[in-house]
Amino acid sequence: MRITRKSTILSSVGAALLLGLTACAPAGSAGPGGVDETDAGESTGNGPYSLEIAESPEFEEGTTMAELAEAGTLRVGTKFDQPLFGLQGPDGTPVGFDVAIAALVAAELGIPFENIEWTEAQSAVRESFLESDQVDIVVATYTINDARKERIDFAGPYFVAGQDILVAAGNPEGITGPEDLAGKPVCSAEGSTPAATISEEYGAELLAAGGYSDCLDPLRNGQVVAVTTDNVILSGFVDQNPGEFELLGETFTEEPYGIGLPKGDDAFRTFINDVLEEAFEDGTWARLYEETAGTVLEVPEPPAVDRY
Ligand code: GLU
């Protein structure tokens, strides 16, 4: 899979070239201000993502949905250090596509944006945060896989990323793919799928960080030769640090992003899957992407929900 970047952010030219950029922003797509005409009129202006908040939604008694709607708050685990998907803003509230997806779920429960309680959920703690009831859902560039499904459940996917490699601008080590990283120091986040893949499948010497933003200084100062994780996360770092880094632009895994929820709560999982499917169909999903990650990345087609 290749990702492309929009023509509006051509500042990091080297990185853009390596991303296979073809200046292909679709006509009518939202710019960094993020206003899309496609569903104008349906939005009510609630919160930063203009989501319509369900008014007194009815849920079967005893369900998680009924409990959350009654409580009027949703506790969400997300990333705080990943531009485009989950990045903590100056007021402490995160912004990004994952944040918008969480806000969508909250809105359908009748919970406005300001009543969402955000907790930073770094890669290694996501399952345990759900198991210990510290959060109600995790929306955090969270790959659905069988090992994780032994501890928690996933709704979705709502996006499909792929693992890629970030190197210093100019690619001084001449790295062309994961095979070149065997025996070399590479940074990734502890507990993540890319960390496991690069060390176990490609033999890299892993520097395990708490979050991916912690990998940038080691790459700058040469402690590692590359940072690896999902392409969209790395694109956010390229965009935020013009001229410093390059993305190889060739993915070598599939990372379907799911919404993590406590294991066995099938009614809650079905509800979230319904919310996602509706948002795929009515254009809300595309609008939320355009207003967040889509300010830098091409807007993809929504994936198919997997109701396992
Ligand atoms: N999607 C991968 C994972 O869930 C990498 C991104 C992350 O660590 O959040 O492990």
CA angle (204 as vertex; 200, 205 as ends), nearest 5: 105
Indicate which residue's Cα is closest to atom 6 of ligand 1: 141
Based on the fold, state whether residues 224 and 277 are members of the same structural domain.
Answer: no
Domain count, the chain: 2
Based on the fold, state whether residues 149 and 171 are members of the same structural domain.
Answer: no
Question: Does residue 199 lie within any of the structural domains?
Answer: yes
**In which residue are the tokens 């969480």 written?**
102
Based on the fold, state whether residues 109 and 241 are members of the same structural domain.
Answer: no
For a pocket test of ligand 1, which of 165, 192, 253 has the largest count of ligand atoms closer than 8 A to its C-beta? 192
CA atoms within 13 A on the CB side of 169: 13
Q: Looking at ligand 1, which atom is closest to the CA of residue 229?
A: 5
**In which residue are the tokens 């429960």 written?**
109
Indicate which residue's Cα is closest to atom 10 of ligand 1: 192
Q: Which domain holds residue 224?
A: 163-247
Based on the fold, state whether residues 155 and 168 are members of the same structural domain.
Answer: no
Q: At what angle do helices 266-282 and 64-71 cross, to 10 degrees?
A: 70
Question: Does residue 109 lie within any of the structural domains?
Answer: yes
151 dihedral zone (left: phi>0; alpha: psi -120 to 50; beta): alpha
The answer to whether the CB of 188 is under 6 A from ligand 1 is no
Written as tens digits, the pLDDT of the chain (308 aa) is 445 555 443 334 333 333 433 333 333 333 333 344 344 334 454 679 999 999 999 999 999 999 999 999 999 999 999 999 999 999 999 999 999 999 999 999 999 999 999 999 999 999 999 999 999 999 999 999 999 999 999 999 999 999 999 999 999 999 999 999 999 999 999 999 999 999 999 999 999 999 999 999 999 999 999 999 999 999 999 999 999 999 999 999 999 999 999 999 999 999 999 999 999 999 999 999 999 999 999 999 999 999 99
d(CA 194, CA 226) in angstroms, rounded, equals 12
Q: At what angle do helices 284-291 and 266-282 cross, to 10 degrees?
A: 80
Based on the fold, state whether residues 123 and 182 are members of the same structural domain.
Answer: no
Last residue of a domain, one of 230, 247, 264: 247
Q: Phi and psi of 250, rounded to 5°?
A: -125, 115
pTM to 2 decimal places: 0.87
d(CA 70, CA 35) in angstroms, rounded, equals 32
Question: Does residue 99 lie within any of the structural domains?
Answer: yes
d(CA 1, CA 167) in angstroms, rounded, equals 19
The answer to whether the CB of 99 falls within 8 A of the CB of 141 is: no
d(CA 233, CA 213) in angstroms, rounded, equals 10
The answer to whether the CB of 143 is under 6 A from ligand 1 is yes
Sort strands 86-88 and 94-95 into parallel, antiparallel or unpaired: antiparallel
**In which residue are the tokens 């919160």 written?**
47
The answer to whether the CB of 193 is under 6 A from ligand 1 is yes
Question: Does residue 303 lie within any of the structural domains?
Answer: no
Helices (H), the chain: 13-18, 64-71, 97-108, 126-131, 146-149, 193-196, 216-220, 231-240, 266-282, 284-291
Question: Does residue 306 lie within any of the structural domains?
Answer: no
Based on the fold, state whether residues 179 and 130 are members of the same structural domain.
Answer: no
Based on the fold, state whether residues 231 and 267 are members of the same structural domain.
Answer: no
Calculate how far, in angstroms, residue 58's C-alpha sits from the geometric centre of ligand 1. Answer: 34
CA angle (216 as vertex; 215, 219 as ends), nearest 5: 90
CATH code of 191's domain: 3.40.190.10
Q: Looking at ligand 1, which atom is closest to the CA of residue 255?
A: 1
Based on the fold, state whether residues 65 and 200 are members of the same structural domain.
Answer: no
By CB neighbour count within 10 A (0-12 exposed, 13-18 middle, 19+ buried), where does 23 fall? exposed
* pLDDT computed for residue 275 by the predictor: 98
Question: Does residue 304 lie within any of the structural domains?
Answer: no
